[in-house]
Structure 1
């Protein structure tokens, strides 16, 4: 089961729909419905932190959940979830270079992690006014996708199956969203079980 933490965002159920189309069993919970420990007791095979209209500090138990996450458990953060991953590991969330609400950008990437089998320089939709500041990334995280002006569009943990994307793979105007989510589900199948 993939646990989707809903950060009170209308895009959450687009993500849920995509994941269900890919065959995933989903449980959706609001970000303040339980404690981080109570979420982990549900024993998901992966967790997705949804977009949301706030900052990581105001996203319920998201920061604590990231900090308590077992090392084997795959995590994907989308938009606000991506920012929460950056902040939880010591990065700084700042105002974006350009406020992007419903605008598309070309995304270049290094082909690692969630970007397997996704062409470089694809189009993705962005809805954000905050971003993770590149110079504050801790050593455990690395950027693996960027816009033309070098704004970070994806993060990946160096040793754990933790991924964040600033853009919205579930948007109709984003290319390869299903493939990116399928790649996450593959990490859940391969690494979700600690045995």
Structure 2
């Protein structure tokens, strides 16, 4: 299985790389977001959008990948990657009044099924590093909420028709004990 990690210039990207490399049969390539040629993506089976320090901008590489491959290839967005998915499908983001960087929080699964959260407890701990969240008032109808924080903030989504999932928290963080299992769940789908 060929897996592409779109590196959005985040220091956590290589933690994701290490987890994915432990998955049997994974053939992984990391390409920086600014250096991706869409034609080379055809050869990959799955795509992961890494976290990053920015906001999803119109015309960014994640948007172009979604435009070309949504419905054709499984896509996982982590943090900024989730935000790019929400933005692409018509949702909006909202800036938090208080930045949430390096905090462990309790996350609660909803009744909506999520492959990445399969066999994960209904309440689990996860590491958070973000200052923007999905605005629940502007969540597109094609996206289902699969997990929320104790405060009710959207922490995970999945597309209702396509194999696209997004998580706001960081599975690659040491503050997310089940993070490797989550990534491996997604790789198995």
TM-score (ref. length: structure 2): 0.93
Q: Offset at 1:58?
A: 7.4
Task: Extract unaligned runs of 5+ from structure 1.
Answer: 188-195
Separation (CA, whole Å) in 2 of partners of 1:97 and 1:52: 19
Residue 70 of structure 2 contacts residue 164 of structure 2 at CA under 8 Å; is this kept in 1?
A: no
Q: 1:93 to 1:45 in 2, by over 3 A?
A: same
Runs (4+) of structure 1 exceeding 2 A deviation are 37-41
Indicate how the Cα distance of structure 1 residues 139 and 127 shifts in structure 2: closer, same or farther if over 3 A, else same: same
Q: 1:9 to 1:59 in 2, by over 3 A?
A: farther
Q: Name stretches of at least 5 consecutive residues in structure 2 with no aligned partner.
A: none
Conservation of the 8 A alpha-carbon contact between 2:157 and 2:165: yes
Structure 2 CA distance for aligned equivalents of residues 128 and 44 of structure 1? 29
Alpha carbon RMSD of aligned pairs, Å? 1.5
Partner of 1:160: 162
Equivalent pair of 1:31/1:59 in contact (CA under 8 Å): no
Distance 2:91 2:77 in 1: 15
Matched residue pairs, number?
Answer: 185
In 2: Cα distance, 1:127 partner to 1:70 partner: 26
For 2:45, the equivalent position in structure 1 comes to 45
Is contact 1:46-1:74 (8 Å) kept? yes
The range that moved more, 158-167 or 56-65, is 56-65
Give the match for residue 4 of structure 1.
Answer: 5
> Where in structure 2 are the equivalents of 1:105-116 lying within 5 Å?
105-110=105-110, 112-113=113-114, 114-116=116-118
* TM-score, normalisation: structure 1: 0.90
Work out whether residues 49 and 78 of structure 1, in 8 Å CA contact, stay in contact via their aligned partners in 2: yes
